[in-house]
Structure 1
Amino acid sequence: MSKKIIIYDDDMDLLEVCALILTAKNFEVVIRDKCTEIIDDIATHKPDVILMDNWIPDIGGVKATRLVKNSAEFSHIPVIFFTANNNVTELAAEAGADYSLQKPFDISELETIVTEAVNKKA
């Protein structure tokens, strides 16, 4: 059975590229350009990994990640925090994310970190 990933980013082009890359690696991908309903989304889709942008509309990536990590039901889901900010490591730590990925990233970096996160959860 394929592993499921939800990607939150306000850049539709980036969402579509990431979805193509990860779908080609046999992941099931759900994309969202805002995180208004993040807890409902996660409850519905039950992802194995979440990719979270820092600048996601509504509440932002740090708060959205904290919502997930403070939820008893979903705190076990690995979150990969990604942003073009040069302090991505600090932001990821502040959010409580499990991984960080600096934008722009190359395809192999994305594949590697997602695979690592999925395997860690398994």
Structure 2
Amino acid sequence: MRNLKKVFVFDDNADILELCTIILEDAGYEIKTSATSNQIIDQVLAYMPDIIFMDNWLPDVGGIDATRELKGDERLKNIPVIYFTANNDVKSLAEQAGADGYLSKPFDIQELENIIERHLKN
């Protein structure tokens, strides 16, 4: 049993979560999803993913604040966070949040897999 890399996707859109789950399980990843970034530290600590996808528009705590919280936590700051939004300004939002990369929606399946591989090699 090879050790599957773990991906955690935060998005309030159930269709996106389902799509990511299908694509990533198919590509051989273990995946967890959440529609809210409340208690982000606890959620991530409980799963300890290898990489995180963070939507911008999340209820209560938005993606920027959630990403900043993760990056401010000693135990979690080294997990790559990919900012993930349909906003045209995804690059500058990712920079504001301190994310490690970004992916625009709608995304290309190959692009999604490539960005994960790129960040997990580092």
TM-score normalised to structure 1 length: 0.96
Aligned residues: CA RMSD: 0.7
Q: Which position in structure 2 is the counterpart of 1:51?
A: 53
Moved over 4 A (4+): none
CA distance in 1, matches of 2:5, 2:59: 26
Structure-2 residue corresponding to 1:114:
116
Query: 1:102 aligned to 96, 101, 104, which one?
Result: 104
Which residue is equivalent to 1:72?
74
Secondary structure of 1:23's aligned partner: helix
Q: In structure 2, what residue type is equivalent to 1:16? A: E
Deviations 1:61-119 (A, max 9, x none): 00000000011110000000011110100000000000011111110111111111122
TM-score, structure 2 length as denominator?
A: 0.96
Residue among 89, 92, 107 paired with 1:90: 92
- Give the Cα–Cα distance (whole angstroms) in 1 for the partners of residues 28 and 39 of structure 2: 26
The Cα shift of 1:56 comes to: 1.2
Distance, in Å, in 1 between the alignment partners of 2:104 and 2:5 is 23
Question: Percent same amino acid at aligned positions?
Answer: 46
Question: Mind listing any 5+ residue stretches in structure 1 that lack a counterpart?
Answer: none
Match of 1:9 among 8, 11, 21: 11
Query: Unaligned stretches of 5+ in structure 2?
Result: none
